[in-house]
Amino acid sequence: MNNPQAFDQTMDRLEQVLAAERQCLAMGQVHVIAELTAEKADAMQALDRLMREGPATPSGPEIGPRLKRIIRAAQENAQHFGAVQQGLRKLTERVSGATQDAYVGAYQANGLQTPFTKATGNYQKKV
């Protein structure tokens, strides 16, 4: 490795970004993850560049386990993000279904409630 200190700093940065991403996922702050994505991509590219510049395997006894921890953290975050996406899809389906099944509180001539989707306005208040 040409610059072991730069390699350690880059791995530290990547670990910090992954930890922040996990915390945002756990707290439901999905909007912050978009900002972290660019930083995570930069750190991963820097790590890749450092690995290509030096020997095939970086030196140091804890490099392998540390890389495995980073990979595991990234995989866990991806699973959490997938769960968040699925939850948002289900929420969207429920909300759109609720507006289709809603009634306006008015009744048709046959006594059935008027669905919200067929409401035309000009309803008079019952006295």
pLDDT in tens, 10-61: 889 999 999 999 999 888 888 888 889 899 999 999 988 888 886 645 556 6
Q: How far is CA 73 from CA 23, 29, 30, 60, 109, in A?
A: 12, 18, 17, 21, 61
Query: Dmax over Cα atoms in the chain, in whole Å?
Result: 86
pLDDT band at 79, cuts 50/70/90?
Answer: very high
Distance CA 104, CA 33 (A): 39
Q: Are 17 and 33 a contacting pair, CB within 8 Å?
A: no
Strand intervals (E) in the chain:
103-107, 113-115
Whether the pLDDT of residue 123 is over 80: the answer is no
Say which range, 61-75, 85-99, 111-125, has the weakest mean pLDDT: 111-125
pLDDT in tens, 88-112: 899 888 877 665 656 566 666 777 7
Domain ranges of the chain: 4-102
Residue in 56, 58, 57, 41 with CA at minimum distance from that of residue 6 = 58
Residue 106 is predicted with a pLDDT of 64
